[in-house]
């Protein structure tokens, strides 16, 4: 859904200004939570929303 943003060599600074980490996410940014949820450590996690958005949610 964001391929058009990632494929652009220069990301619009006004877009990045809304993201506290000041960068777009990369596929590897979700690796840690995938490992956690796939492991026994995440076995009791159900129905949770885990934003992986560079801090965008909640900075309203």
Q: Which two tokens stand for residue 31?
A: 């690796």
Per CATH, which fold does 1-60 belong to? Helicase, Ruva Protein; domain 3 (1.10.8)
pTM here?
A: 0.64
Residue ranges of domains in the chain: 1-60
- Give the number of other Cβ atoms within 10 Å of residue 20's Cβ: 13
**For range 27-40, the mean pLDDT:** 94
Nearest to 12 by CA among 20, 3, 22: 22
Answer yes or no: is pLDDT of 42 > 90: yes
């Amino acid at each position: 859904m964001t391929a058009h943003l990632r494929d652009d060599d220069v990301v619009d600074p006004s877009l990045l200004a809304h993201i506290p980490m000041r960068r777009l996410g990369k596929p590897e940014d979700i690796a840690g939570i995938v490992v956690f949820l796939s492991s026994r450590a995440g076995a009791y996690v159900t129905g949770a929303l885990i934003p992986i958005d560079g801090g965008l949610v909640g900075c309203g």
